[in-house]
Amino acid sequence: MKQELLQLKNLRTSFRIGDEYYAAVDDVSLTVNKNEVLAVVGESGCGKSALAFSVMGLHTRAKIEGNILFKDHDLAHASPGTMNRLRGKDLGMIFQDPLTALNPLMIIGDQIGEVIYLHNKTLSQANRKKKVLELLDKVGIPRPEHTYNQYPHELSGGMRQRVVIAIAIANDPELLIADEPTTALDATIQSQILDLITRLKKDMHAGIILITHDLGVVAEMADRVAVMYAGEIVEIADVMTLFGRPLHPYTRSLLNSVPNAEKDQDELHVIQGIVPSLKNLPREGCRFKDRIPWLDESAHEENPQMHEVTPGHFVRCTCYKHFHFPKERKEEKHHGIS
Amino acid sequence: MAFLEVKDLKVHFPIKGGIFGRTVDYVKAVDGVSFEIEKGKTYGLVGESGSGKTTTGRAIIGLNHITAGKIVFEGKDITDPRKTKQDFRKNVQMIFQDPYSSLNAKKRVLDIVAEPLRNFEKMSKAEERKRVQELLELVGLSPESIVKYPHQFSGGQRQRIGIARAIALKPQLIIADEPVSALDVSVQAQVLNFMREIQKELGLTYLFISHDLGVIRHMCDQIGIMYRGRFVEEGTTEDIFQSPQHIYTKRLVAAIPDIDPTKREVHMQFRQKVKEEYEQSYHDYFDNQGLAYSLQPVSSTHYVALPEKG
Amino acid sequence: MNGMWKFTVRRILIMIPQVVLLSILVFIMAKMMPGDALSGLMDPNLDPATLEELREKLGLNDPWYTQYIHWIGDLFHGDMGESFRYKMPVSELIGQRMVNTFWLSLVTLILIYLISVPLGIISGRYNDSLLDQAITGYTYIGFATPLFIFALVLLWIFGFQFGWFPTGGSVTPGSTPGTLDYISSKLYHLLLPAISMALIGTVGTVQYLRNEIIDTKQKDFILTARAKGASESRVYNRHVLRNSLLPIAAFFGYEITGLISGTVFVESIYTYPGMGQLFLESITTRDYSVATALTLLFGIAAILGTLISDIILSLVDPRIRIK
């Protein structure tokens, strides 16, 4: 039974460059349900982090249009007071870099205790400490009593990320946003953290937005996946469908450019051209058009819409119907050296 | 004879302590590492942060002081960087991890790429310019790029500039330290493909350092797995990925996220099983300091760090 | 805490060779100056042979290191020689002046922090606002204005034109030490010099604090604090300010170094009888024993200042404390 938890309606988050605003998240609509991990995947500059920060209200100098409906609030237009009541309580966030996400001059216990205190000021200090120790144990810190009094620099990256997670889940949030939670971590630590989030998800009943560029992480964690390119969602589907039957040219190209053990690729697929910068994002027509120039202009929609291909599987633009990988790689001529 | 031979390499960094700041101990960043690379092949050095893989690479090229051991390049001992001939330094180049900080932002691309040329070869301005343009064309950048500055390029293009600089002197060996870790997947694909192309074309040998097993598997012929300054396992790519022997290697391999979501449950259970095995059999694989034993052969290509029997 | 002690002991041990080196330098410079301890004291009509005899007796013909050891030995007994101008022991003379300089420096320091902390906070928190631009403007002016000119201008305006402040001395002559009148008169006399020194001396700290705050504001852990639901004021009080003020605390010791050069100018301009004024005067009147002693004292004060800074820094920053 799906229960909607968060709904983005035509969200547009714009940043000012010079005298003009440029949308980094451009007209994004999606829902996150309870008990669900929605992965938002894309390359740097696609707007996925800007989207996460918009939901959390952490942008200080951005223009936010549209609606972010969460419980009875519209986070896009909520007052600072409302946001402060929700953040840390109903909305938790896990940040990318555990090395910088913690205050270097505060002991771990106080950093976790702060988020508990902020949303429950009547709790006695002793009970608060008890709760912090429970949380440290819950996120798999071996000696909670000891770690309670430690400073961040005394902990390894993996341990720090556990502390960051403890802060995010301290008040049992209904929505958890994880912004590249394992990118800065070593492989074995990464899998431990992912397993931890999976385990926590089971007893939290929260909705999770997982922001990542790593398709492997998506395949391991997500229930549904939204693929972003140039500020827009280009494809959204449940995880089995997306990996089993990816449709949008960008999704397909992305999947083909990762080294894959199953396929013995001699060469990885390369997406032509470069990700356009915020200022130079194509704002009209299919935004991916320039990167698949071998497709005929007529393959694209003039004003690309999301099409529901099968229930719950949406793809932007009609170009997916005509897309094929270039048959033969153009032989690049090398000369000069040797 | 191997192309590059590293024999029992040790790089120890002193730890200062006490009231007078004497050396009280050493960090054994690299502690007895030996391997050989064959010409034209790619050797992968894998490990997590603190494993000593980067230090190993830097020691070979002379950026880290070598405490003990020997490095032999084409039969010549090049351990002491002060005694090595110039041609070694020409023949071995390095590609760095971060294309954003490894290029001097205040210099034009021409000056960046020409720097090794100016150090080692006497060329007229015109020759130099022509050569740099050729190099840029080779890495897929337009010759007009020479007057631009690094910030005018994307991450992948910047890494190509770094590569252009590295191959300017037609080196034989390139040490690539996490060359794609800072890049997006599609850009990563571009750089990896390109590195393979120029390998064929120029007959390059790579020492490829990375923490990303997926990339390592794609690129390498032979792999050495490092843990706390020592090798835990060494073998061909097939040895390592098809039949990992050391528990640490098993754990690393199990930690690679599987891109197929249908195998998610199986994979997670497998990971769990390996984790349990790791905890149970830890003492069979590591000595009482938590360090790896020395390598024992299990086949002609495959070596595993195990305690000596008997 | 063990590490903390080790650090402090080590830091103090490092100081010893610094002080020895300083004393040797000061001694050699003193020897290189024309004339010696006798030239000013003696009757110019004295027979050169007798003078030579006296020199021999006083050890002035010994090799420099023997003299140096004598000098150091005397210093340890509190004997810094005699001021030929004031005809009194240097130690006594400096002792009197030191009290004045101490109070002047203390008030200046208090003023410096009273000005810099609020200005730095406003400027850093509301950076690029009009207020910030005004404050930054002030700091630029402060950097560009030489202290001795600024002090002269203040003296002329508030001392001579308006007559709000005394124009010299450290206390109204005739008041009895220990009375309230005496104390308030002392304070009254040092206020204008202290203000002029503080207004100029504080600009570095204002800018430093401003930059620290702007820097800390952009740190990731501030985002974490916001994501916890902390209000803007809490984010500032608990996270930004704490983390930005600590380096300022550590700056304290270096502030002392700045004060030394400040007092030399300001005391001379306000004819405030402190060590700074004495120093300038001893140089112009070639009162060598005084100048030497003061140079040594100033040098030691500067070394102590950096020591204090390092210790404070290690106290407040856990990252240094542990190591």
Residues of C in contact with A104 (CB under 8 A): 221, 243, 318-319
Sheet containing strand B205-210, edge to edge, reads B92-95, B173-177, B205-210, B42-46, B222-227, B230-236, B303-305, B295-297
Tell me, what's the pLDDT at B21?
66
Kindly list the partner chains of chain B, i.e. chains with 3 or more CB atom pairs below 8 Å. Answer: A, C
Measure the CA–CA gap between B79 and B76, rounded to whole angstroms: 9
Whether A117 and A98 have beta carbons less than 8 Å apart is answered as no
- Closest-CA distance, C10 to chain B, in angstroms, reads 5
CB contact under 8 A, A114 and C230: yes
- Closest-CA distance, B262 to chain A, in angstroms, reads 7
Residues of C in contact with A102 (CB under 8 A): 221, 224
Mean pLDDT score, C103-117? 91
**In the predicted model, is pLDDT for residue A53 greater than 90?**
yes
Measure the CA–CA gap between B211 and A100, rounded to whole angstroms: 21
**Domain housing C238:** 93-322
Which of B16, B19, B24 to mutate to probe the C interface, most C CBs <10 Å? B19
Tell me whether C77 touches chain A (CB under 8 Å): no
Q: Compute the C-alpha angle A225/A230/A236, nearest 5°.
A: 20
Tell me whether C129 touches chain A (CB under 8 Å): no
Residue C8 is assigned to a structural domain of this protein: no
Q: Which residue of C has its CA nearest to B15?
A: C323
Chain B residues within 8 A (CB-CB) of chain C? Answer: 18-21
Kindly list the partner chains of chain A, i.e. chains with 3 or more CB atom pairs below 8 Å. Answer: B, C
Tell me, what's the pLDDT at C323?
41
Whether B170 and B190 have beta carbons less than 8 Å apart is answered as no
Residues of C in contact with A168 (CB under 8 A): 227
Whether A273 and B229 have beta carbons less than 8 Å apart is answered as no
Rounded to an integer, what is the distance from CA C160 to the centroid of its chain? 27
Measure the CA–CA gap between B76 and B3, rounded to whole angstroms: 10
Tell me, what's the pLDDT at B18?
62
Residue C25 is assigned to a structural domain of this protein: no
Query: Beta partners for B28?
Result: B12
**In the predicted model, is pLDDT for residue A336 greater than 50?**
no
A337: nearest CB among B135, B215, B271 = B135
pLDDT band at A75 (very low <50, low <70, confident <90, very high): very high
Is A60 buried (19+), middle (13-18) or exposed (0-12) by CB count in 10 A? exposed
- Closest-CA distance, A121 to chain C, in angstroms, reads 12
- Closest-CA distance, C143 to chain B, in angstroms, reads 29
Tell me, what's the pLDDT at C169?
76
Residue C318 is assigned to a structural domain of this protein: yes
Note the pLDDT tens digit of each residue in A225-269.
999 999 999 999 999 999 999 999 999 999 988 887 766 667 888
Query: Beta partners for A8?
Result: A30, A68
- What contacts B72, CB < 8 A, 6 or more positions away? B2, B4, B5, B6, B7, B78
Tell me, what's the pLDDT at C284?
83
CB pairs under 8 A between B and C: 8
For A225, phi and psi rounded to 5 degrees? -130, 135
Mean of pLDDT over chain C: 83
Tell me, what's the pLDDT at C322?
46
Rounded to an integer, what is the distance from CA B113 to the centroid of its chain? 21
The DSSP code sequence of C40-84 is TTS-TTS-HHHHHHHHHHHTTTS-HHHHHHHHHHHHHTT---EET
Lowest mean pLDDT across A186-190, A214-218, A318-322, C208-212: A186-190
- CATH number corresponding to A1-90+175-186+204-330: 3.40.50.300
Tell me, what's the pLDDT at A331?
43
Rounded to an integer, what is the distance from CA A122 to the centroid of its chain? 34
- Closest-CA distance, A258 to chain B, in angstroms, reads 6
Measure the CA–CA gap between B79 and C23, rounded to whole angstroms: 47
Note the pLDDT tens digit of each residue in A318-328.
999 999 888 65
Note the pLDDT tens digit of each residue in B223-270.
999 999 999 999 999 999 999 999 999 999 999 888 889 998 898 899
Residue C217 is assigned to a structural domain of this protein: yes
Note the pLDDT tens digit of each residue in B39-94.
999 999 999 888 999 999 999 988 888 999 999 988 888 887 777 666 777 888 88
pLDDT band at A166 (very low <50, low <70, confident <90, very high): very high
pLDDT band at C201 (very low <50, low <70, confident <90, very high): confident
Q: Compute the C-alpha angle C99/C105/C107, nearest 5°.
A: 105
- Closest-CA distance, B24 to chain C, in angstroms, reads 13
Tell me, what's the pLDDT at A333?
41
Whether A319 and A286 have beta carbons less than 8 Å apart is answered as yes
pLDDT band at B19 (very low <50, low <70, confident <90, very high): low
- Closest-CA distance, A166 to chain B, in angstroms, reads 22
Residues 240-279 of C with CB under 8 A from A: 242-243, 246
**In the predicted model, is pLDDT for residue C43 greater than 70?**
no
Whether B220 and B208 have beta carbons less than 8 Å apart is answered as yes
Residues of A in contact with B146 (CB under 8 A): none
Note the pLDDT tens digit of each residue in A87-115.
999 999 999 888 899 999 899 999 999 99
**In the predicted model, is pLDDT for residue A332 greater than 60?**
no
Q: Compute the C-alpha angle C238/C242/C246, nearest 5°.
A: 170
Note the pLDDT tens digit of each residue in B176-186.
998 888 778 87
* SS3 at position C198: helix
Mean of pLDDT over chain A: 89
Whether C87 and C70 have beta carbons less than 8 Å apart is answered as no
Q: Which residue of C has its CA nearest to A81?
A: C231
Q: HEC string of A66-116?
A: EEEEECCEEHHHCCHHHHHHHECCCEEEECCCCCCCCCCCCCHHHHHHHHH
Residue C183 is assigned to a structural domain of this protein: yes
Residue C145 is assigned to a structural domain of this protein: yes
A258: nearest CB among B185, B197, B268 = B185
Domain boundary assignment for chain A: 1-90+175-186+204-330, 98-170
Query: Beta partners for A152?
Result: none
Both structure tokens of B282: 């830890």
Domain boundary assignment for chain B: 39-64+80-228, 235-310
CB contact under 8 A, A274 and B154: yes
Residues of B in contact with A220 (CB under 8 A): 257-258, 261, 264, 267-268
Mean pLDDT score, B193-218? 91
The DSSP code sequence of B134-183 is HHHHHTT--GGGGGS-GGGS-HHHHHHHHHHHHHTT--SEEEEESTTTTS
Measure the CA–CA gap between A49 and A180, rounded to whole angstroms: 9
Tell me, what's the pLDDT at B95?
87
Residues of A in contact with C224 (CB under 8 A): 93, 95, 101-103, 111, 164, 167
Kindly list the partner chains of chain C, i.e. chains with 3 or more CB atom pairs below 8 Å. Answer: A, B
CB pairs under 8 A between A and C: 79
Lowest mean pLDDT across A231-235, C6-10, C212-216: C6-10
User: For the domain B39-64+80-228, what is the CATH superfamily, name and number?
Assistant: P-loop containing nucleotide triphosphate hydrolases (3.40.50.300)
Mean pLDDT score, B142-168? 84
Q: Which residues of C46-61 are buried (b: 16+ CB within 10 A; e: fewer)?
A: eeeeeeeeeeeeeeee
- Please report, rounded to a whole number, the percentage of residues in chain B having pLDDT higher than 90: 43
Of A8, A6, A7, A13, the closest CA to residue A65 belongs to A13
Q: Is the dihedral of CA A107, A110, A112, A118 positive or negative?
A: negative
Residue C97 is assigned to a structural domain of this protein: yes
Residue with tokens 């400073």: A151
What's the CATH code of the domain at C257?
A: 1.10.3720.10
CB contact under 8 A, C221 and A80: no
Which of B259, B262, B266 to mutate to probe the A interface, most A CBs <10 Å? B259
Residue C64 is assigned to a structural domain of this protein: no
Residues of C in contact with B20 (CB under 8 A): 10, 13
- Closest-CA distance, A132 to chain C, in angstroms, reads 14
Half-sphere exposure (Cβ direction) of A54: Cα atoms closer than 13 Å: 35
For B75, phi and psi rounded to 5 degrees? 80, -5
- Closest-CA distance, C233 to chain B, in angstroms, reads 36
Domain count, chain C: 1
Whether C192 and A69 have beta carbons less than 8 Å apart is answered as no
Q: Which residue has the higher pLDDT, C71 or A77?
A: A77
Sheet containing strand A207-212, edge to edge, reads A91-94, A175-179, A207-212, A37-41, A224-229, A232-238, A313-316, A306-310
Mean pLDDT score, A164-172? 94
Tell me, what's the pLDDT at A112?
97
CB contact under 8 A, B211 and A269: no
- Please report, rounded to a whole number, the percentage of residues in chain B having pLDDT higher than 70: 96
Both structure tokens of B181: 């870790």
pLDDT band at C95 (very low <50, low <70, confident <90, very high): confident
What residue type is C78 in one-letter code? Answer: G
Tell me whether C12 touches chain B (CB under 8 Å): no
**In the predicted model, is pLDDT for residue A330 greater than 60?**
no
